[in-house]
A and B are shown apart, each in its own frame.
Chain A
Amino acid sequence: MSTVDDRTEKKTVERTVPEVEAPDYSLIGRRLPRHDARDKVFGQTKYAGDRPVEGMLYAKVLRSAYAAARLISVDTGVAEAMPGVHAVMTAKDVPLNETTTKFGQTTDTGGFEGTVRVLADKKVRYMGEAVALVAAETLEQAERAARAIKVEYEPLEGVFDPREALKPDAYRVGESDTNVVSNYRVRKGDADEAFKTADVIVENTYHVPHGDHVYIEPETGIAWLDEDGVITIRASTQVIEHFRGVADILGLPHNKVRVIAPMLGGGFGGKEDITVEAYLALLVWRTGRPVSLTYTREESLLAHSKRHPYFMKYRHGANADGKLVAVEAELISDAGGYAYLSPWVLLYSTVCAPGPYRVPNVKVDSYAVLTNNTFTSAYRGFGAPQVCFAYEQQMDALAARLGMSPLEFRELNYLHTGEASGTGHVIQTAVWTDVTAREAWAALGEPTKPRSSHERIGRGMASSMQSYGRLIYMHDTSRSFVGFEMDGTLVVRCGVQDIGGGQASSLATIAAEVLGVDLDDVTVYFGDTALTPLAGTTTATRQLYMSGNATLKAATTVRDTLAQKAGEMLGVQPERLELRDKAFHVLVVDDAEPGVTPTPEPLPLLDVVKACASSGIPLWNLAQFNAPSREVEDVQNVHGQIFPDFTFGTHAAEVAVDTDTGNVEVLKFIAAFDVGQAINCLSAEGQLEGGSVCGLGYALLEDVKLDQGKTITPALDTYLIPTAKDTPDVQSILVESRGGVGPFGAKGIGEPSSTSGAPALANAVADAIGVQVRELPMTPERVLRAMRDPELESISAKA
């Protein structure tokens, strides 16, 4: 099997993209099978649960049976005496049980960090909160012992709707005198005055539900005490840098905890918070024995983080000529029992609330509010999909009122390079939303004919803006090591977590491109806090941007070093050398230096590597890439640049709605995104396709249903995600502006690829039935209800 394979080339479509000169890369931008795919397809990849350690114990977490209760007592006596049991731990056994949530940050960010408890104490805040840990010789023994722990609760009333929790006399979820986790404002221009001048005003409310990540690999890990007294945790995590938080919890120096992340079976934000790591470390620390812990699927659905439900009120004003004049939005998110990443997620929503549009007057007020529901945190899109669902239906409603097509109206209002976003950040990088919109819409082709008298066909589109790279408040950094071995093979060491998006493979491609070797010549070591340079989290669509740039920097330094030596060997200036196909080639120039005869024979790379090694010239470089940064000036008033850059893109969809049943079938689904520069087209398409189907699930199926804090969808037969039968072929269109801030002009695509999926489908459904469904998921019941709701205004622009 060849590593370079263009046999799967897609059919070409008519393009309307502006011409940007395509550089002559040997690997970048090709359609290449990923280097990790071969290991995976032959069953050779060892995930976090696949390497049992001799003598390991099995752990079980006892979880709260109540969503809101006072924790009166936890009696572990019987459990501790049971056969095979080595440890039972509760809050009193945890050196630092109350801690603050930090996420591989290199700086403290004050107002954004929330309190979290490792094990429940005083008050239980959500159903499924961890109360006690057990480690035993067998899993059955651990489960039996967990059941034998006697917990006395005093049930409390709780609060389960964030709008209720905002009220002054609401039940208090924690010990603080308010349920508000965070509250932000955006003010640009004067929205109140601008609405008075608007010819058309559209005002609606929207609601989106809890969502579960449903990575196919549930949370898992194995930990042990190594021979140097370091607690080593091999876990499925997006953030190996939680080693600091875990060390703090145990009261150990940071260099006494090591976290290793092998290939993950999916992340999607759900493995951004600590999952099993702290529990494993505590039990290893207590027992001295290796310990393993894997959540059941039910436990994962009940007790790990969820996507935030939002209640959103949006008001938009536009002129008769179709220009937006003002937007006003109120966002309320349900943070659940603990803050976790809710402050950050809400900040993303707040910044992205106006969408990829030029709106002169902006007023956004947002609140993240504690409730006794399951805690919510990071999920692919990180607050952007919720607001996109709302603002993109607002755009269609405005277009309909103005008698314009959805594309025509959007094209009048898209933000462009050099213009200010809602927070007043003047974006200087490529903003090609309009190109993606035209591409996506054109790809829908001819409309499908209804197949029966009770079927209606609808088409819709939605555009989005989503950041890549972390908030610049974070002072984000990444490091990567690139070095040649003596035989000319290449090693990259970089502490990325590979969650399935090709994070490691991208680094190999970048290093191979710069250093003129084949992909097969590169080995990437990743995800180990002890052995790989720290590269930060695999979250926030940041790894290609951050670690890609760090790897590019390191590889370029190695190339320059080698070129210097090669120049000496050839007797030419290093600037005249090109490194490709494992050799230095002399570029023939017209005004050749007098006395220098251009060498037609390329100098083999291996000769240069050997010459450098024998003269003590380093064959390696360790580089750090720093993202732009700024201090938090005013936590609440959000203004100016918040992110390094944004990715812009558009989904378009065609659906068939059965007017008898309300069932929605997706017939066509197109994702057109400006990826800047695809590093590997096959991988970039994979992101667009997977992200789109994630958006399809959000639109039509997925709903973590909670009744008074109790999850009533605790299995994959009640919490439904898309199967192959629920999805059409997704058509992915890679638009390449080469104008991003990632390596070679790349932009991040992991999260953005999902964001506009659900609103595109919602707009298609509205086009089919004539009214909008402003609540997710768009179940048959909701679609039928919307069709029969006399209060809903027709969306049809055709009228």
Chain B
Amino acid sequence: MELYAIELRLNGQPRKASVTVADTLLDVLRTQLGAHDVKNGCGQGDCGACTVLLDGRAVNSCLTLAVQADGSEVTTLRGLGTPEDPHPLQEAFVRHGAIQCGFCTSGMVLAAKSFLDDHPEPTRDEIREGISGNLCRCTGYTKIVDAIEEAAHVNAGGRS
């Protein structure tokens, strides 16, 4: 199959990849660009584990073709914050015990980031709606909603 050269910014760094029209963004991120923090849970858009931010918006990278990301900014969990400079969502997820096995965490945190950008002062029900495209099998969601709620408060008061 014919190969296309694409260029994108991955967590702020310019990257290049050689892709076919059939390659998904998920495939390219994991196999060519070493972004193993992006997870493959179903490959069919049902579980949300592969969620990344494409130009700041949450997308299922398994349903996004790599060529669609040409020229875009892609943010994965590692790009959201670091141990030295954590994002409020990352701090809140740890503090509230919203992480057990952690396999959904990457997609869940990024979905929450995108959701909070649109809903800075959400109710718990709105949070539940906002993350309903991301499956978690370990936590039962209560602590995830707690964490997102707290991160919203932190955001509202400005990042410390």
Residues of A within 8 A of B (CB): 1, 5, 7-8, 31, 33-34, 36-38, 40-47, 49-52, 213-218, 263-266, 268, 294, 296-297, 499-502, 682-683, 685-686, 689-694, 715-717, 721-725, 727, 729-730
Contacts and interface: CB of A to CB of B under 8 A. Distances in A.
B83 interface: yes
B145 A41 contact: no
B116 interface: no
A348 B91 CA distance: 41
Contacts of A723: 132-133, 135
A689 B96 CA distance: 13
Given A31-B97, A42-B90, A717-B46, 16 more contacts: A5-B95, A8-B146, A33-B94, A41-B86, A41-B109, A52-B31, A216-B39, A216-B136, A500-B103, A501-B100, A682-B97, A685-B143, A689-B142, A715-B44, A716-B44, A716-B46
A265 B103 contact: yes
Nearest to A40: B102
Contact of A1 (B31, B41, B86): B86
Contacts of A501: 100, 138
Given A43-B76, A725-B132, A1 B141 contact: no
A716 B47 contact: yes
A1 B81 CA distance: 14
B94 to A, nearest CB: 5
B159 interface: no
Contacts of A45: 102
A734 B85 CA distance: 34
28 contacts: A36-B102, A37-B93, A37-B97, A38-B94, A40-B102, A42-B86, A42-B90, A49-B40, A50-B36, A216-B47, A216-B136, A216-B137, A264-B101, A265-B39, A265-B103, A297-B44, A500-B100, A501-B100, A682-B96, A686-B139, A689-B140, A689-B142, A690-B138, A716-B42, A723-B132, A724-B131, A727-B140, A729-B124
B77 interface: yes
Contact of B41 (A7, A37, A216, A686): A216
A8 B104 CA distance: 22
B101 A500 contact: yes
A715 B46 contact: yes
Contacts of B137: 213-216, 266, 268, 690, 694, 721
B2 interface: no
B74 to A, nearest CB: 13
A38 B83 contact: yes
Contact of A41 (B42, B44, B99, B134): B99
Nearest to B91: A1
A41 B140 contact: no
B66 interface: no
Given A34-B97, A724-B127, A217 B39 contact: yes
B105 interface: yes
Contacts of B86: 1, 41-42
B105 A717 contact: no
Nearest to B87: A41
B53 to A, nearest CB: 13
